[in-house]
Structure 1
């Protein structure tokens, strides 16, 4: 999920000075505003310096917010003769801190209160109300339940699944009310899709992670006959391996890594496919 994206032009300060005096504070404000609870922590920072030449780019990753600005500044100086054609893209990747159930519920209630106070539609509250079980004979009464329309069986939803459903709803998708007559087929399908599509951080690979890109690339190539597409898939695979990227991380940060691949010369449409179809590939080779 991308919280925001801003463009700043004609910066006259050094990268480190701009970070300390401006960007660091703005980043903190955005994180506090957009994701106040549950808490998030910085996981890594990705910096891409590119030019108008499609294959001329420099990429560097740093842990958390520990950025060595000397590396960035030295590269900018070495390319300073290119002038206004230089473009610097910085992506800050944050990861949710795992909370125990009590703290997670408290964090959820706090966010609902903040959303209501600011006039924002409380998506979390609506999703929890939708799936709250009120059936007097259900052992899950008072908790979150999903009813299987095929057999009316109640399935208790854990907090991780509810988080996925909330993510699905916050993307603008519709979760319809469950009806006692079993007319909730679309809602249950949405629930299953949300579980599959939003479970990005929990992808499991049935092979060493350094072998996964090649296997994934072979799978993609087998889906098409166009040689240009196959060549683009193979280039995306090479870039992924050469830069040491993990397919699971790429699936989590699709917008960021699709841009990275495109900057490295991969066709834009193929770049988007490469980061977004990882889940489909795993579903195909590891059927439930």
Structure 2
């Protein structure tokens, strides 16, 4: 199937068109019954084996009365027009198409598998929308850099590791990022009046518990503690977090958008109360 499709597009090559192929791989834990596929003859193309495994998985799910959630989600987000470079996109209320990657699609599938409704683009949750718009912002910045004079677009292509967020451990051999990456410019946030008379690491714990004291819901408390754990894992200073205001950093790691906004923006309120 996959091998035949390029042949069908051969006439486009002859007219000078360029071809871009995006492959999406869906990794799912197979039910016990689907392991029967692995006992079949191993000969044949990799695509044929993948299709056979997929069909076996779908048959097993249907026999057990399980809905094919991932397929339904992918069908909803599939782009049927020629406005997108990718195969899947989110269409906002202004009819703007925003490309989706596998990470975001996986979040949508997980949400739908919990029994939630995801039948149209309007059913996408706010925290997933934050991830979509954050990805679009990063993609726009990269496109702008490629179009800038003397950019890397004039040089040989290099393969680099794309970091998931501006904060990243230097243990992996990456250069620490600068502070010019937040949703608000560091020059806008004045740290002169932000005084935290505590050791940096203890301040993170105390601030996290202070936020937990402001709410009664255990899910909120767990969200604040999760954000605090992320801070400590990357050895971040509350002053720098308040200055950078990089909300997407926490959202991309699974913290709810509302929890993240409170965690980032209430630092000065807590410091003034000390």
TM-score by length of 2: 0.37
TM-score by length of 1: 0.35
Which of structures 1 and 2 has the bigger CA Rg? 2
More strand by share: 1
